[in-house]
Every structure is written in C-alpha cells, then in structure tokens.
Amino acid sequence: MTALVTPPLADAVRDETSLRRFLAGLPGVDQVGAEGRAAGLFTRSIKKDAKLWALDTAISMIDLTTLEGADTPGKIRSLCAKGLRPDPADPSCPPVAAICVYPDLVAECREHLGGGTVKIASVATAFPSGRASMSTKLADVGEAVAAGADEIDMVIDRGAFLSGRYLQTYEEIVAIKEASGAAHLKVILETGELSTLDNVRRASWLALLAGADFIKTSTGKVQPAATPPVAVVMLEAVRDFALSTGQHRGVKLAGGIRAAKDAIRYLVLVKEIAGDEWLTADLFRFGASGLLNDLLMQRTTQQTGVYSGPDYFTVD
C-alpha cells in the first residue's frame, strides 16, 4: 500500500503551484515492484466453482463498445440487442454494464435500450485526440447528454499534462464534469502516452481531485493501452483516494483485453488491491468490443462441459 495522502485535499487545487507541489509529493512508483506485484497476482489460480461467478461478473462490467467511422444505426441496434441479452439462448446470462458509442449515435441507443439497467456511455471532448477548443469539447458533451447519455467518457489533454500545465488539465475536467450534469464522468488518461507509472499516478489523482467518477486507461486507439502494472497504479489511486476522502471512484480498463482468462486475472487485481467493494459495475468496468464473445464461450463451456466455438455467438 502506498502512503496515504494527507488532507486537506482542497488546498491541493488552490492554484498551479499548490497542485504541482501536491502531485510532485505523491509517493513514487517502484516500476519493478508494480510489475512484479501484477505478475504475481496474474498467476493466481481461480477455483473452478468461482469461475462461473467471475465470468458473469466480468460480463456485467463490460462497456460494449463500437467507435468506428463506419458505425451505422443498424449496427447500434444489433449492439444494443446483444448488450441486453448477450446469450439469447440463456436468460440467466447478465446484461452488460453499458453500450459505448459516439455522441451522434446516443439517441439511437436510447431508442433501443429504453430506460433499463444497461447504461449509455458516450465518448466526447474530441475523442480520441482531445485536440479541440474548450467550446467544441463542451458542445460535444452537451450533445451527448441532451441525447440521453448516462455516462461521458472524456479524454484529457495529454499535451497540457505532459507540459506540466496541471491546473489547465484540472480545470478542463472540472468544466466537463459540470457540463455532464447527472451523467457520470469517466476520465481517459491515455496511459500509453504518459510514459511513466509516476505520471499515471499523478494523472489519476489529478482526475480524482477534479471530480472524475471513473478513471480510465485508454481510448483503445493508442498502444500500450491497459496493462497490469498500470491497473495496479490506478487501483491504488482509487483505493487511497477513498481512504483519504471516504469517496469511492471507479476504474475502467480499456484497450487490448480480449481473453476471458485475462479479464478474470484483472478481477483478482481489483480484489487484492482495491478490495471487494470494487467488484461491481458501479466501480469497475472493462471497455471492450472483443472480450464479450470469449467470456460467453468460456461461460458456455463451464456450464455444459462442451467447448462452443466463436461461430456460436454473433460477431460485433
């Protein structure tokens, strides 16, 4: 466990100097230690009777995503149907957590999902680059919220952050949070561009201080995306933030997670680092388009003892 951050945290964001001092004062990340801890937890075996629970839990944590230029209303309709009933032959299979789309397709999602338990997440703020004026980013968020988005996924200005303009990055997140209204805000750090785990820790804390409901690894457009050491650092951040403030914020891992066995390994990291409280879709998500089918195949195998091939489920 990292050393707890000493309150009051409100002083940390008083001005640029205070924020810089606060972020520089966070405990440094032992990269070798983080990699070793992640590797150790990744090798932990799961008992057979817990695997079905883990597969269902992972399915319920998925933000089923399509972020392609060729997206169509028809594809969104199919994705919504799959999110609601991932395995049409088995009503006991849980729905996913959310459908994640571009802002102009939120209304299409709302029409097909209605007001059920599956949320609508929308990437905004000039996703995936984040290169746009603040007025454009706010308009992007406003469009998604007005169309019915429950959750906004914003990407930070990595140029500002890496240049040390921390207060600018903080204030941008605060403004987007305000524009999101009742919608939950997920703040994408794009960890593959942050270079070091120390930067991942600083960006995580900066986003949490600014009001992020979730911190998220990646847009999925940059590699490396989600990695076990990055997950360790981000889970430590939300855990320590909760210990310091009593406020529970979530983590979303996105980009490159395609195998059920890896999703289960990440659940082990969540349990061992953040704790059992985070083993819920309210506090942990997978951002994935390719992961769901492997989870469904492994689930069917666990239930029937017979391996079902990839053709058994629809391709997203």
> Which residue type sits at 93?
C
Q: In whole angstroms, how large is the CA radius of gyration of the chain?
A: 19
| Per annotation, catalytic residue among 216, 240, 262, 294 | 216
- HSE at residue 35, side-chain half, CA atoms within 13 A, is 5
Is 216 catalytic? The answer is yes
Q: What are the structure tokens assigned to 233, written together?
A: 């650092």
- The sign of the torsion formed by the CA atoms of 86, 91, 96, 101 equals positive
- From CA 258, how far away is CA 3, in angstroms rounded? 33
44 and 276 Cβ atoms separated by less than 8 Å = no
Is 262 catalytic? The answer is no
Q: What are the structure tokens assigned to 163, written together?
A: 């240049």
| Per annotation, catalytic residue among 153, 157, 213, 294 | 153
- From CA 245, how far away is CA 290, in angstroms rounded? 36
Is 90 catalytic? The answer is no
| Per annotation, catalytic residue among 82, 119, 177, 252 | 252
- From CA 230, how far away is CA 228, in angstroms rounded? 5
Catalytic residues: 153, 216, 252
